[in-house]
Structure formats: C-alpha cells, structure tokens
Structure 1
Amino acid sequence: MITEAKQNKQSMYDTVLNQFNKTADLIDLNPNIRRILALTNNEIIVHFPVKMDNGEVEIFTGYRVQHNNALGPYKGGLRYHPTVDVDAAKALAMWMTWKTSLAGLPYGGAKGGIQLDPRNYSLSELERITRRFTYALGENIGPEHDIPAPDVNTNAQTMAWIADTYMSTKSTSERSQNQHVVTGKPVGSGGLEGRDRATGFGVYLTIKMLYESRGENLEGKTFIVQGFGNVGYWASKFLTEDGATLLAVQDAHATLINEKGISVEDLFEHSSPRKGSIKGFTGAVEMEPEEFFGLECDLLIPAALGNQITAENAYKIKAAVVAEGANGPTDAEGEQILLQQGVTIIPDILCNSGGVIGSYFEWLQNRNGELWELDEVMQKLEKKIKQVFKNVSNEVAERKTDWRTAAYIIAISRIETSYTQRGIFP
C-alpha cells in the first residue's frame, strides 16, 4: 500500500540533498555555487481561515518554497495532501530546479501546497480554500516570478480558481496580462491542449526510447503502476496502445492484479467517479499490498508519492526498468540496491518532465496570445523530450554512469554556468 513519505526513515529532503551532494562532488562544483544551491531562496508558510459549509471556520496551513531562480521564474506544482510540510516542499522545489534545468527551460524550481486531504471537503469548500490560499500568497506568486501548476490532488479546476483569484487582485487593465500566473488551466480558460496528458506521455516516451536504444520495443512488455492518477493513467494508456500489458495497479486504497492484463480504460472509468480510487474494480482481483513490488514484470512505474522504494522493499523488485513517474519515489538506499541488481532507473527529473515542458508551452501561449492545436503541442512535446533524453543518454555513455547521475550532471552544470557567467550580486 502507498504509505506517506514521512513514515520512512529517510525524508525526501534527505534524498534530494544526498543526490545533490553526490553530483557536486563528482563535477567538483564551485564551492560558492554549491552553498547557494544547497539552500532554498524562500520558504513561505501561510495560515489562513476558511468558512466551511456548516458555518464553522477552519484554519489551514499552506506552503510555497522557492528554491532557485538563476535560470528564470520559479516553477512548480501545488499539492493538496496530508504529507505536505515545509521539508517535503523544500525537497520537491529542489527537484523542480534540476528538472527545469535539465529540460533546458527558462525556469527555476518551486513547490508547495496545503496540508489537507481533499476527500474530506466538498467542492465548494475546496474552492474557498484554494481562493483564500491564493490571496494569502499574494505577490509571492506571479506570471514572471513564480508560476504554480497542478500536482497531487490538484487539477485544472484548481488552477482556474487560482488564476481567477489572482487576476481579480489586479486592475482591469492588468488582468489579461496575468493569465499565465498558473499553468495547467482548463483549455477554455487559457489552458493548453494536451497539458492533461503531457506528464504521462513523457513517462511513456522515455520508456519507449530506452527500449529502442536497446533494439527492443514495447510489444509484449509487462508493467505495473503505483498510483493511478493523471500520470499513471496516461502513461498506462500510451504504453498499452504500443502493445504493453498492464498487470497490476496499486493506490492508497487497494492493490489489484490480473495476469491476463488490466483494461486501462475500464479502470479509469471505474476510478474517476471515486476520486481516483481503484478499489472495487471488477476487472482484477485484490492482492496483498506488500507483494506488489515483487511481481514478475518488465517495468515498474512508481507514479504516486515520494520515498516509496526504500531499503525495505527495493530488493523485492524484479522489474528490469524503473520509470519514475512520481517525484522522488526512490530513496538513496533503495536506489543503491536497485543499481546493484542491475536495474535501470529512468530518473524523475527526466522521466516525468513532460509536465513542466507542457506548462512552458502553455505559459508561452498565454504570453504571446496564441492558440496551439493538440497535434502541434504533441509534436513539440515529443521533439523536446527526445532531445533531453538524447542528452542524458549521451552523458550515460560518456561517463559510464547511471541515468540519474548523468541527468544531475547536466542539470547542475547548466546552473553553474549561469552563475559563473553572471557572477554573484553584489
């Protein structure tokens, strides 16, 4: 069963710092720049009251951590989850800095959210919570400063509420200039065609390209997915369309298996009205959650929360490839075990970068007053992801190292170059 990251011995922040320090040592990162990148620029915590449907007032705590903006405005999602705290946001913000840098985007990294379980609130309560959170953040976000996006338990509707609230704080003449304060909006509210599938498409495409680099294809490959939200669904859909078979799915409520294959569309139709829960799906049977990672398969896609693959379960994994659809799903000890077992890990900052690349396209579309059609978006997305994959693949071959280390070298080196060229104020 998917467990909260804070229940694990090593926090996500420990994991990301471990990864950063390993790379900094490897590339002999300038010590001054190392000091800057090891810390966040800003950590914003807001407490705000919201009136519930029953008339009572509840106090919520929201976070926005801005790690680094050397390459451009802060960029990163907002999640609504009980595990949201400042340490989790710091880790996720740092990962976003590496992810945007690796993708060659003019962005830095940020992350945040609200510590709550959205299943406990009505739609009207979630709207009021979101709008009040946006108001509390104030000028800490902005279309040229910090641009939020959807993440765990947030979606296009959430982004529409944020955009409307933020624009409402501006003068009439300024409102149209602030539509791109968030990305991941509904298409009718300035969103991008295809943004909903961008992250899952990126997961699928990096997997496909990895197999192709080995002279293989997806036909006949078997895979299991942890998490069946937006990322898990779209990745599964694209993979099965290319001939792969989904054997098992796990979320916070159930672990399902069907050795003959699970219908992705049937499971999606079952889970959508249930706020994403796969429990009760008749096209598969439930199995013991602790046996999930040990299933015989070609490919494992962790697409839920962070720190799911640890020293406690990594040795069970039989998949030859782990594609990180989630942010930080593998801690340092778990990764070491997988690498010793010869498992190829497609790291999160490469594997799930389709989402932020799609967000960049939406941001450009809004800034330039353009409208891009789905085919154009998907072509641009595929071209960009293929180039990033090629860059990492070349680094893997040249350095004879693992994929995460190669990706980190590219990402951090790009930021180091920026600081070296610009200098440090004053």
Structure 2
Amino acid sequence: MINTQKINRQSMYETVMNQFNSTADIIDLNPNIRKILGITNNEIIVHFPVKMDNGKVEVFTGYRVQHNNALGPYKGGLRYHDTVDIDAAKALAMWMTWKTSLAGLPYGGAKGGIKIDPRNYSDSELERITRRFTYALGENIGPEHDIPAPDVNTNAQTMAWIADTYMSTISSSERSHNQHVVTGKPIGAGGLEGRDRATGFGVYLSIKLLLETRNEDFKNKKFIVQGFGNVGYWASHFISKDGGTLIAVQDAHASLFNENGIDTEALAQHCEPRKGSIKGFKGATEIDPEDFWGLDCDIVIPAALGNQITQDNAFKIKAAIVAEGANGPTNSEGEKILLEKGITIIPDIFCNSGGVIGSYFEWLQNRNGELWQLEEVMEKIEKKITQNFHKINSEVKKRNVDWRTAAYILAILRIETAYNQRGIFP
C-alpha cells in the first residue's frame, strides 16, 4: 500500500530544503538571494463552508502557497488529498519554482489544494467545494499572477469549475481576457490538445532520452509503476507502445504483478468506473505491498505521492533507473542509498515537467487566441523536453554530479541571474 503518512525522519519540506541548500553550497549562491529563495513569498490558508447534498454544512481548509515569482507568474497545481497541509504545499511550491526555471518557462512556483478525500463526496458536492474554494482564494489567483492546474485527484473538470467561477466574479469587461486563469481545462473550455498526456509523455521521453545515451531502448525493458492516475497511465501507455513491458503496478488499494506483462489499456478500463483503483484487475496477481519495490525490473516509476522511496525501502530497488513521475517521491536518505547503488535518478523537476510545459502552451494559446492541433502540441513539448535533457546531461558530465544536482544547479542559476540583473527592491 502507498504510504500516505509523513516519514518521521524527514518531511517533504525538509527534503526540498536539503536539496536547495546542498546546491546553493555547490554554486556558492549569493547569500542574499539564498535568503529569498529559502522562504516562500505568500502562504494562504482559507476556511470555507459548503452545503452538502443532505443539507448539512461542512467547513473545509484550503491552501495556496506562492514560493517565488522572479521569472514570472506563480504556476502550480491544486490537489485534493487528505495529506494536504501547509508544509506539503510549501515543499511542492518550491519544487515548482525549480521546475519552471529548469524548463525555461516564464513562471515562478506555487502549489496548493484542499485537505479532503474526494471519494467521500458526490460530483455536485465537489463542484460546490471547488467553486467555493475559488471564491475564497479571490484575487490570490489570476492569469498574470497565479495560474493553477490539475494535480492529485483534480482534473480538467475541476479546472473548468475554477475558470468559470473566477470569470463570474470579476468585472464583465475582463471576463473574456481571463480564460487562462487556469490550465488543464477541457478542450471545449479553452483547453489544449494533448495536455492530458503531457506529464506522462514527459516521463516516457526523459527515460527514452537517457536510454539513448546508453545506446539502449525500451525493447526487453521491464518497468514498474507506483500510482496509476493520469501520469502513471500515460507513462505506461507510451513506454508499452515503444516496446517496454509493464510488470507491476501499485496504488493505495493494491499491488499487482504479472511477469509476462500487464495490459496498460485493459487496466485503465478497469480503473475508470472504480474512481482509479486497480484492485480486482484480473490480468495480474495481487502481491504483498512490501514486495513491490524489490521486483526484478529495469525501470521504476514512482508516480503517486511524495516520500515513497525512503531509507526503509530504497535498498530493495534493483532497477538501473528511477524516473520520478511524482513530485518529491524520494527523500534524501532514500536518494543516498540509490546513488550508492549506482542507480540513475531522473529528478522530478525534469522528469515530470511535461505537464507544466503543456500548461505553458495552453496559457499562450488562450492568451493569444490561437488554436493548435495535437501533433503540433506534442512536437512542441518534445522539442522543449529534449533541449532541457541535453542541458542537464552536459551539466552532469561537466561537473561530474548526479542528475538531480545538475538540474538544480541550472534551475537556481537562472533565478540568481534574474535577481542579479533586476536588483532587489528598493
């Protein structure tokens, strides 16, 4: 079972701060800029009431943390999960700052969500919860200020509700110019063709590019995936089409294994009416969750929640590559063990950046009144990810460091350059 509890020895926030501070030491980051980047700009907590289907009122807690906007508007997802709290939002917002900087986008970093298990609410209740949360956030979000997107347990429909609520609560003269207040919307509501698969495609492409540097491909490669939501499914879809074999999947309800391969599309169809659960799928055998990480495979893709690969299980991993489809899935102690074992970690701020890159193109499409076809969008995303891969690969070779360190160096140096050129007000 996926561990949704905090790791006692290290929280996600401690992990991201460790990563930031170690990189700042390596590049001798300007101490004044280090102080700025070491804290968040804004931490917003809202409590809001919503009437349930039975007429009773529940009060919910929502969060939006804005870490840094030196490079442009805040950008980051909203998740609906019972692990959402201020520390998790702070960590995820900081990761978004590094992710958008590394990707070369004109964005900063933010993150947030509602502490809620959406499976306990009807669709009409989730709509009211989402609209009331949007209203509570008010001017803390905006198309040139802070642009939310889907994340864990939120989707295109969630974004459509947010966009509609936001546009309904601003002046009529501004409504037509604010469709890009969120990204990840349905196609009919201004969404981007291909945004649904962009994150998973990026995970697939990052692994493909790494394999190519080793004169390898996906043929005869076995992979396992933790989490079979949007990211886990699309990554599995593209890897399977390119010759890889999915042999195990884990989510909060079950761990499945089939040494001959799991049919990605059949599993996705099984999950659809069950709100995402893989449990009960007939095309694989259920195994003990403790055995999942130690399965004999070539590639591990954690695509669920943070702090999943830790000092408690990292030693079990036999794969050559860990590709971080989730944000912060590996804590510092777990990472140390993986690196000592010679395992290459494709870091989250690069590996799953396809989503925010896709979001950028959706934002541009809305902003400029353009319309792009699926093939065109995927080409744009592939070109951007490939460029970023080669930059990181060069940094790895030049400095003789691991992939995460190289990615962090590039991300933080870009922000430092912006501060050095602009100065600090006043």
* Paired amino acid for 1:90: K
The amino acid across from 1:11 in the alignment is S
In the TM superposition, 1:22-41 aligns within 5 A as 22-41=22-41
Rounded to whole Å, the distance in 1 between the matches of 2:32 and 2:357 is: 29
* Contact 2:7 2:307 (C-alpha < 8 Å) held by counterparts: no
Tell me if the contact between 1:102 and 1:350 (Cα under 8 Å) persists in the aligned partners: yes
CA distance in 2, matches of 1:3, 1:271: 20
- Residue number in structure 2 paired with 1:74: 74
Rounded to whole Å, the distance in 2 between the matches of 1:357 and 1:176 is 24
Give, in whole Å, the separation in 1 of the partners of 2:81 and 2:136.
Answer: 18
Distance 1:15 1:195 in 2: 29
Contact 2:5–2:83 (Cα < 8 Å) also in 1:
yes
Helix, strand or coil: the match of 1:210? helix
3-state SS in 1 of match to 2:62: strand
Partner of 2:117: 117
- Aligned mates of 1:144, 1:272 — CA distance in 2: 35
Tell whether the 8 Å contact from 1:8 to 1:307 is kept in structure 2 after alignment.
no
Residue in 2 that maps onto 1:270 = 270
Task: State whether structure 2 residue 411 is matched by structure 1 residue 392.
Answer: no
State whether residues 204 and 238 of structure 1, in contact with CA within 8 Å, keep that contact through their aligned partners in structure 2: yes
Which residue is equivalent to 2:361?
361
Q: CA separation in 2, counterparts of 1:352 and 1:225? A: 14
5 Å-filtered alignment, 1:300-315, equals 300-315=300-315
C-alpha separation between the residues in 2 aligned to 1:255 and 1:248? 7
CA–CA distance in 1 between the matches of 2:266 and 2:4?
28
Q: Contact (CA 8 Å) 1:5, 1:11: kept in 2 or not?
A: no
Between the aligned partners of 1:7 and 1:204, the Cα distance in structure 2 is: 28
Within 2, Cα distance between the matches of 1:54 and 1:7? 37
For the residue of structure 2 that corresponds to 1:148, the secondary structure is: strand
- 1:265-314 per-position Cα deviation (integer Å, ceiling 9, x unaligned): 00000001111100000000100001100000000000000000000000
Counterpart position of 1:416: 416
Give the aligned residue type for 2:315: Y
Matched residue SS, 2:142: coil
Corresponding residue for 1:286? Answer: 286
Q: Which SS does the other structure have where 1:97 is aligned? A: helix
SS of residue matched to 1:279 = coil
Aligned to 2:344: 344
Q: Which structure 2 residues correspond to residues 27-426 of structure 1 after superposition, within 5 A?
A: 27-426=27-426
Q: Which runs of 4+ in 1 moved over 2 A?
A: none
Decide which moves more: 165-174 or 123-132: 165-174
Q: Which amino acid aligns with 1:236?
A: S
SS of 1:372's partner is coil
Q: Relative to structure 2, which stretch is displaced further, 365-374 or 169-178?
A: 169-178
CA deviation string 1:316-355 (max 9, x = no partner):
0011100000000000000000000000000000000000
Contact 1:66 1:109 in 2 (8 A): yes
Whether contact under 8 Å (1:73, 1:144) holds in the other structure is: yes
Per the alignment, residue 4 of structure 2 pairs with 4
What is the deviation of 1:152?
Answer: 0.1
Q: In structure 2, the residue corresponding to 1:371 is in which secondary structure?
A: coil
CA distance in 2, matches of 1:85, 1:157: 23
Q: What is the letter of the counterpart of residue 18 of structure 2?
A: N
Once the two structures are TM-superposed, the CA of residue 9 in structure 1 deviates from its matched residue by 2.5
Cα distance between partner residues in 2 of 1:203 and 1:279: 24
Instruction: Return the alpha-carbon distance in structure 1 between the equivalents of residues 220 and 268 of structure 2.
Output: 22
Per-residue deviation, 1:5: 4.4
* Consecutive unaligned residues in structure 2, runs of 5 or more: none
Give the RMSD, CA atoms, in angstroms: 0.5
The CA distance in 2 between the partners of 1:225 and 1:58, in whole Å, is 36
Query: Shift of residue 391 of structure 1?
Result: 0.5
Shift of 1:8: 4.1
Q: What secondary structure, in the 3-state scheme, does the structure 2 residue paired with 1:249 have?
A: strand
- TM-score by length of structure 2 reads 1.00
> 3-state SS of the aligned residue for 1:396?
helix
Q: Is the 8 A contact 1:310 1:335 kept in 2?
A: yes
Is the CA contact (8 Å cut-off) linking 1:163 and 1:182 kept in structure 2?
yes
CA contact (8 A) 1:5 1:306 kept: no
SS in 1 for 2:148: strand
What secondary structure sits across from 2:58 in the alignment? Answer: strand
Distance 1:6 1:127 in 2: 29
Any stretches of 5+ residues in structure 1 without a counterpart?
none
Q: Is the Cα contact below 8 Å between 1:218 and 1:239 reproduced in 2?
A: yes
Q: 1:11 and 1:296 mapped to 2: Cα distance?
A: 29
Q: Deviations over 1:347-383 (max 9, x none)?
A: 0000000000000000000000011100100000000
In structure 2, give the amino acid aligned to 1:225.
V
**1:172 Cα deviation from its structure 2 partner:** 2.0
Q: For 2:335 and 2:255, locate their aligned partners in 1 and report how far apart those are by CA, in whole Å.
A: 23
Mapped to 2, the partners of 1:94 and 1:405 lie a distance apart of: 15
Give the count of matched residue pairs.
Answer: 426
SS of the residue corresponding to residue 49 of structure 2 reads strand
